[in-house]
């Protein structure tokens, strides 16, 4: 996968810099061409001559003391992938803000290739809110965050923050440089619970957090798809996700039906209200005015609307049930979906707002496949893999 590819290995100043020498060797062993760049701090832990001897090319050590007129742009344009290993908290901060004050941050800023960032720092630094913000920004910019792991740290400490082993980083680099399983796909995902206005203050809603839909959207984006996420909650940061904010069932129906004809697959994970007030009050309803009468009417059936389209996408629906999933099996047959994902929201760890889910896949013929309790991120990743396995876009069949 990496044979003949151009890899820039960027080494920042942490004790884990010694692992960069082995990573450089492993990259060469799988056929990659490797050039290196180092911060001043990294030279306190690893000698430049070590990397020069391994790669056959002297590291870039600064922006102004090189033979190249513009070493960072030369490296950035040459690279097929940049690997920052180790990535200290300071280096990640510079990468996240675009502060190109050293050779590593300038090289990343001057490139258009995938960037793999392998953090290495003490647990307290990794868990600090500033680092969390920087990680979120880097993910949103399309960087792949490799690790960290739990293990021995500098000074005899133990905890989360250890740089991944070079062989693990090597696998992640290979994955980052190859197109994802959904590269070239366009995916529509809906997420969150809708709000149906009773008056300007109150609404009919549900307990949906949007976590499952967000996990699916992020998994599709990381698999290379261009994702349209129609949502009532904040969307995850990723350069492949286009967020469409909505509130009511009608808003979501309009947005989903507009986007659906242009996508290869639609995963409608949102918890859409089945009913809405037929005549919401213009002003705030007040207790002193007596008990109001709220008359309900059905909301648009978004799933059925997509299923009825002439050139509809591969369609995945969701069903939140309580107790038996027999109703969900009937729904899979009646709704015209290609796949239905059902869960019992009354089960521990499988309800609204949790970080885990226990789902069952149902096909229109009534066949079921139950998955064990997984994190919603894992459910999203496995579901995307299932969609790829079961369906290919029209141009690739």
Does residue 118 share a domain with residue 67? yes
Count of domains for the chain: 2
Catalytic member of 206, 240, 343, 357? 206
The confidence score (pLDDT) of residue 392 equals 66
Which residue is it, tokens 């309803």?
Answer: 285
Single out the residue of 112, 92, 114 nearest to residue 102, CA to CA: 92
For residues 190 and 173, state if they share a domain: no
Report residue 55: phi and psi, to 5°. Answer: -95, -20
206 is an active site residue: yes
Same domain, 338 and 357: yes
For residue 128, give the CATH number of its domain.
Answer: 3.40.50.1950
Q: What is the pLDDT of residue 397?
A: 38
Instruction: Decide if 158 is inside a domain.
Output: yes
Could you tell me if 143 and 190 lie in one domain? no
d(CA 38, CA 325): 57
Range of the domain at 99: 6-177
Domain assignment of residue 17, yes or no: yes
Evaluate if pTM is beyond 0.75: no
Q: What is the pLDDT of residue 66?
A: 65
Residue 381 within a domain: yes
Q: What is the pLDDT of residue 276?
A: 96
Strand partners, 341: 318, 361
Res 395: pLDDT: 44
Strands of the 115-119 sheet, one edge to the other: 33-38, 6-11, 81-87, 115-119, 144-145
Residue with tokens 């720092």: 121
CA distance 271 to 221: 21
All residue ranges of the chain with pLDDT < 50 are 394-397
Q: How many CB atoms lie within 10 A of CB 354?
A: 18
Q: Which of 177, 208, 227 is the C-terminal boundary of a domain? A: 177
- The verdict on 96 and 214 lying in the same domain is no
- Give me the pLDDT at residue 96, please: 92
Model pLDDT for residues 84-140, shown as the tens digit of each residue: 989 999 999 999 999 888 889 999 998 888 899 999 998 888 989 999 999 988 888
Peptide bond into 240 cis (omega under 30): no
Q: How far apart are CA 160 and CA 149, in angstroms?
A: 6
The alpha carbon torsion through 131, 103, 20, 136 (nearest 10 deg) reads: 20
In a domain, 285, yes or no: yes
- The answer to whether residue 1 is domain-embedded is no
DSSP 181: T
Q: How far apart are CA 21 and CA 51, in angstroms?
A: 6
What residues have CB less than 8 Å from 300, skipping those under 6 apart? 249, 250, 253
Return the pLDDT at 346. 80
Given 156, 177, 198, which residue is the final one in a domain? 177
Q: Is residue 292 part of a domain?
A: yes
The CATH number for 226's domain is: 3.40.50.10300
C-alpha dihedral sign at 45, 49, 51, 57: positive
Measuring CA to CA, how many Å separate 68 from each of 40, 53, 59, 101, 299?
18, 20, 12, 17, 64
State the Cα–Cα distance between residues 129 and 357, nearest whole angstrom.
27
């Amino acid at each position: 996968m990496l044979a003949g590819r151009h890899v820039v290995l960027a080494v920042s100043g942490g004790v884990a810099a010694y692992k960069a020498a082995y990573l450089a060797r492993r990259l060469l062993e799988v056929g990659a061409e490797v050039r290196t760049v180092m911060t001043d701090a990294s030279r306190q832990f690893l000698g430049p001559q070590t990397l020069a001897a391994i790669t056959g090319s002297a590291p870039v050590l600064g922006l102004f003391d090189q033979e190249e007129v513009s070493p960072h742009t030369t490296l950035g344009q040459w690279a097929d992938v940049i690997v920052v290993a180790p990535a200290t908290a300071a280096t990640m901060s510079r990468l996240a803000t675009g502060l190109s004050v050293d050779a590593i941050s300038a090289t990343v800023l001057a490139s258009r290739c995938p960037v793999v960032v392998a953090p290495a720092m003490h647990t307290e630094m990794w868990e600090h809110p500033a680092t969390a913000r920087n990680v979120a920004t880097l993910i949103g910019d399309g960087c792949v965050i490799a690790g960290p792991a739990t293990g021995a740290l500098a000074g005899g400490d133990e905890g989360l923050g250890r740089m991944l082993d070079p062989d693990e980083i090597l696998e992640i680099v290979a994955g980052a440089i190859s197109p994802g399983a959904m590269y070239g796909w366009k995916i529509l995902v809906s997420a969150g619970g809708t709000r149906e206005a009773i008056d300007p203050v109150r609404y009919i809603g549900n307990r949906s957090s949007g976590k499952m839909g967000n996990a699916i959207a992020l998994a599709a984006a990381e698999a290379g798809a261009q994702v349209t996420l129609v949502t009532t909650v904040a969307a995850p940061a990723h350069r492949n996700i286009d967020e469409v904010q909505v509130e009511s069932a009608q808003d979501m129906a309009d947005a989903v039906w507009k986007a659906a004809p242009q996508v290869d697959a639609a995963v409608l994970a949102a918890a859409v209200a089945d009913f809405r007030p037929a005549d919401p009050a213009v002003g705030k309803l007040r207790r002193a005015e007596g008990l109001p009468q709220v008359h309900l009417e059905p909301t648009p059936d978004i799933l059925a609307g997509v299923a009825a389209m002439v050139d509809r996408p591969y369609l995945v629906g969701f069903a939140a049930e309580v107790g038996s999933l027999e109703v969900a099996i009937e729904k899979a047959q009646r709704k015209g979906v290609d796949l239905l994902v059902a869960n019992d929201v009354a089960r521990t760890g499988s309800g609204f707002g949790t970080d885990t889910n226990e789902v069952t896949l149902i096909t229109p013929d009534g066949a079921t496949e139950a998955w064990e309790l997984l994190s919603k991120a894992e459910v999203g990743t496995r579901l995307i893999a299932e969609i790829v396995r079961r369906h290919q876009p029209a141009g690739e069949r």
